[in-house]
A and B are shown apart, each in its own frame.
Chain A
Amino acid sequence: MSGPLLEGRDITVRFGRGADAFEAVRDASLTLHPGEIVGVVGESGSGKTTLARVLVGLQQVASGAVFLEGQPVVEARSRESVPKNERWKVQMVFQDPYSSLNPRMRAWSAVAEALQVWREMTRNQARMEAFTLLQSIGIDESQARRFPKALSGGQRQRVSIARALAPEPKVLIADEPTSAIDQSAQARLANLLRRLRSERNLAILFISHDLALVRYLTSRVHVMRRGRIVESGPTEAVLRKPRHSYTRILLDSLPGRRGEAISNRRGEAISNRRQERRFPAADGSGGF
């Protein structure tokens, strides 16, 4: 296997027409390989979410294309995005855990539905499997029987992840999955994503504006600004020695992290310690 699992090539998304047209994403290209976590960072409105929606086929492109295992799945002017029988391969976790689950469906049921559709299970098999899957990512049976409104933000995000994992996808697009949940839940979710990558050889696109999380999770990172990818490269290198002035501004704008971006021994040491505190169960499988 030579090429990337998922590739976005020169993606441009335009909203509106004529003089009012607004380019949410412009000429963005990125690749994802199996077992790799790639980050996308950028401020609000930089086009991160739009890019994610393109990759799963929720958003039409003005130009450019998305390739899945070398096959084009999203192209300009094609109305039907990712072909139906290919959809299971790329799944998505949405930013807002409060709207990403059907309020009238119990947690296990949302997962079981995806299992029934994609894994050709009977109702009962799917039900059992849903409980097992939820259990494996830290939702116990009593929580699985609840409606979303009785679950916390972090728990809902886990249910969303379980639902996305149900078809056994090859790629997971995680659109700021941690932005609406509290810090300790964020850390556990990050560890969960790490575990999924190693256990399932899952390729994950991790979209975030939390640079500490991005540094902890990803090997490569793309920095977006006003719809363009302005800087790409190995995460450590980009965050430690940003070449683009915008990346530097982004790093500097983080509260309490001033100076971290500029390569500086002391700053590096501080950030490492800070990360240890935030992600105690780094590679251990426990921690839930």
Chain B
Amino acid sequence: MKRRPRFLPVDLNRSALVGAAIVLLVIVLSVLVPLLSPYDPVAATGPALAAPGGQHLFGTDQLGRDVFTRTFAAGRLDLILALVGVSAPLLVGTFLGAVLGTTRNRLVAWLWLMVIDAINAFPFVVLVIAIVAVVGPGVTGLLIGLAAVNWARYARIARSRALILRNADFVEATRVLGYSRLRVLVRHILPNVYSETIAYGLSDFVIVVLTVSSLSFLGAGVNPPTPEWGAMIADGRLYLQTQWWITVFPGLALSFTAIGVALLAHGVSGRYAGEK
């Protein structure tokens, strides 16, 4: 199914449209709410454990902080973390994988492949936790952990794609035409590898958002009092039976974001992966 509303530059199917709308809503709220809110997301601004309504739309937590402001301040952090946690490994992994897939130096390619396979053999979250434990928790530690592990996924995809491309007629044609290896890599291999890794990157975004939250929930991620969805959920779980709003609102925001991105990824990835 293809529909092209006039205001959109690309064809999007229904799943992608719904997903894009949700993601856009989360982004807009995450940018605007912390800016416009009268409350400081990290300071007590009212009575503790106030129910939603009136002054505090989503209520307040056990320290009297406004849950509404915190939820969207957390959104900003989580989205930025996920964006960096996806795009940096995407760039590095794609480039490296493409080089490995096309190099003639078998020994170097083999050594790199060992490293990639070793990283990929570990469960994603476990390895990130291990690295965060070494580097120390916090935003920086989290980013280092994500980047150090995640690039290997992209490199694996890029490499196998490049191995196929290497024997495609249009790449052989570049050899007949005597193009330099750099030109072939940049103009012919990479543009065709990117389409594949970007498709994975979209679905990976969900995994990374959830990983960031899970790690913070476990205390291995963002440090308090910085608002973060996973950390907020962890904060509220003692009060879940009585003051449900502390947990439920960041939980809803996280779920909505994950669903939105998943829908968007599902709808858009066909454009990239399905193309010949």
B36: interface (CB < 8 Å): no
Q: What chain B residues lie within 8 Å of A118 (beta carbons)?
A: 177-178
How far apart are the CA atoms of A164 and B169 in the complex, in Å?
13
A145: interface (CB < 8 Å): no
How far apart are the CA atoms of A81 and B172 in the complex, in Å?
13
Contact between chains at A58 and B176 (CB < 8 Å):
yes
Contact between chains at B173 and A117 (CB < 8 Å):
no
From the candidates B175, B176, B191, name the one contacting A102 in the complex (CB within 8 A).
B191
Interface residues of B (CB under 8 A from A): 168-170, 172-173, 175-179, 183, 187-188, 191-192, 195, 275-276
Contact between chains at B178 and A94 (CB < 8 Å):
no
Contact between chains at A117 and B187 (CB < 8 Å):
no
Contact between chains at B177 and A114 (CB < 8 Å):
yes
Q: Contacts A98-B276, A102-B191, A102-B192 known; A117 to B179 CB distance under 8 Å?
A: yes
Closest 8 CB pairs of A and B: A87-B178, A100-B169, A104-B191, A94-B169, A99-B169, A102-B170, A56-B176, A92-B176
- For A56, give the chain B residue with the smallest CB separation: B176
**Distance to closest chain A CB from B168 (angstroms):** 5
Main secondary structure of the interface of B (DSSP, over half): helix
Known: A103-B276, A118-B177, A118-B178. 12 other contacts (CB 8 A): A57-B175, A57-B176, A84-B178, A88-B177, A91-B176, A94-B169, A94-B172, A95-B169, A99-B169, A103-B275, A113-B183, A149-B275
Size band of the A side of the interface?
20 to 34
Contact between chains at A92 and B276 (CB < 8 Å):
no
Contact between chains at A92 and B173 (CB < 8 Å):
yes
Q: Contacts A91-B177, A117-B178, A163-B173 known; A99 to B168 CB distance under 8 Å?
A: yes
Q: Contacts A96-B169, A102-B188 known; A149 to B276 CB distance under 8 Å?
A: yes
Contact between chains at B169 and A167 (CB < 8 Å):
no
Q: What chain A residues lie within 8 Å of B192 (beta carbons)?
A: 102-104
Interface positions of A from 75 to 120, Cβ below 8 Å from B? 84-85, 87-88, 90-92, 94-96, 98-105, 113-114, 117-118
How far apart are the CA atoms of A117 and B178 in the complex, in Å?
9
- For A114, give the chain B residue with the smallest CB separation: B177
**Distance to closest chain A CB from B129 (angstroms):** 38
**Distance to closest chain A CB from B195 (angstroms):** 8
Q: What chain A residues lie within 8 Å of B275 (beta carbons)?
A: 103, 149
A-B contact pairs, 29 of them (CB 8 A): A56-B176, A57-B176, A58-B172, A87-B176, A87-B178, A90-B176, A92-B173, A94-B169, A94-B173, A95-B169, A99-B170, A100-B170, A102-B170, A102-B187, A103-B170, A104-B191, A104-B192, A104-B195, A113-B179, A113-B183, A113-B187, A114-B177, A117-B177, A117-B178, A117-B183, A149-B275, A160-B173, A163-B173, A167-B177
Q: What chain B residues lie within 8 Å of A104 (beta carbons)?
A: 191-192, 195
